[in-house]
């Protein structure tokens, strides 16, 4: 009787382990992360991806980087980042995190910016892929969130650009364009997406 119970328990453990770990799904998750890296790093192929700075809309990007740089040098005052006077009007929580990370690790701000940004996007895609896999148990399901990053606006076909220009100076970008800057807006999107996934249930 005891032996039978032990065999049943071992079988249950084995089934539980295989339910949690599916080797083909690992391939799906790996492919999802590879696609994510291609989307995030693709625009700067051939350039030093870690040492470069994503200066799209450079006036904003440099202001954000100045906040993080000030923090990395020990200044936590919420002041205008260039002359360090007045009051800071930029949303700055993420740049405080970047500055503190840079200060603690010794990494330059631009490297911390890229490293943490890429990790945030990769983590979000991983979380979304986990939900897709748990809902379907299909090995390729974790790839779908990464493929969503490749969607666009059909702008190239309709206007010859990679973005759509709308009225009142509005511009519609595809996800790959939105995520390129790796700034606080991108991190905010990652937090929102991950929170929604958590509510659905990892």
- Record the pTM: 0.80
Give a yes or no: residue 13 inside a domain.
Answer: no
Asked whether residue 64 is domain-assigned, the answer is: no
The residues pairing with 165 across neighbouring beta strands, listed in sequence order, are: 171
> Could you report the per-residue pLDDT of 63-94, keeping only the tens digit for each?
888 899 999 999 888 787 777 777 777 788 99
Residue 117 has a pLDDT of: 94
Domain membership of residue 156 (yes or no) is yes
Confidence (pLDDT) at 147 = 93
Residue 195 lies inside a defined structural domain of this protein? yes
- The number of beta carbons lying within 10 Å of the beta carbon of residue 34 is 12
Ranges of residues in the chain with a pLDDT under 70 are 1-21, 49, 156, 159, 162, 202
- Whole-angstrom CA distances from 138 to 27, 28, 133, 146 are 11, 9, 6, 15
Q: What is the pLDDT of residue 12?
A: 42
- Looking at residue 14, its pLDDT comes to 45
Q: How many helices (H) and strands (E) does the chain have?
A: 9, 2
Query: Does any domain span residue 117?
Result: yes
* CA–CA dist 101, 99 (Å, integer): 5
Is 23 among the domain residues? no
Question: 109: helix, coil or strand?
Answer: helix
pLDDT at 202: 58
Is residue 66 a part of any domain in this protein?
no
Which residue range(s) make up the domain with 163?
A: 108-202
* Domain tally, the chain: 1
Answer for the pair 194, 124: CB distance below 8 angstroms, yes or no.
Answer: yes
Res 21: pLDDT: 57
Euclidean distance between CA atoms 202 and 200, whole angstroms: 7
Q: How many angstroms separate the CA atoms of 61 and 53, rounded?
A: 9
Residue that is written with structure tokens 């870690």 in the block: 50
157 token code pair? 């076909």
**Is residue 20 situated within a structural domain?**
no
Residue 79 to residues 40, 109, 176, Cα–Cα distance (Å): 31, 18, 32
């Amino acid at each position: 009787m005891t032996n039978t119970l032990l065999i049943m328990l071992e079988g249950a453990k084995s089934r539980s382990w295989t339910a949690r770990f599916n080797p083909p799904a690992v391939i799906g998750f790996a492919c999802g992360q590879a696609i994510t890296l291609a989307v995030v790093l693709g625009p700067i192929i051939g350039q030093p991806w870690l040492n470069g700075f994503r200066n799209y809309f450079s006036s904003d990007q440099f202001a954000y980087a100045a906040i993080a740089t000030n923090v990395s040098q020990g200044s936590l005052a919420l002041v205008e980042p260039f002359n360090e006077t007045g009051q800071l009007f930029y949303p700055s929580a993420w740049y405080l995190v970047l500055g503190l990370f840079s200060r603690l690790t010794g990494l330059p701000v631009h490297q911390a910016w890229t490293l943490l940004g890429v990790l945030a996007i990769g983590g979000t895609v991983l979380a979304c892929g986990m939900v897709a896999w748990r809902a379907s148990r299909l090995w390729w399901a974790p790839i779908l969130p990464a493929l969503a990053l490749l969607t666009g606006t059909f702008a190239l076909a309709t206007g010859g650009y990679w973005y759509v220009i709308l009225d009142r100076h509005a511009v519609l970008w595809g996800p790959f364009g939105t995520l390129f800057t790796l700034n606080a807006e991108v991190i905010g999107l990652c937090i929102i997406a991950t929170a929604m996934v958590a509510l659905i249930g990892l």
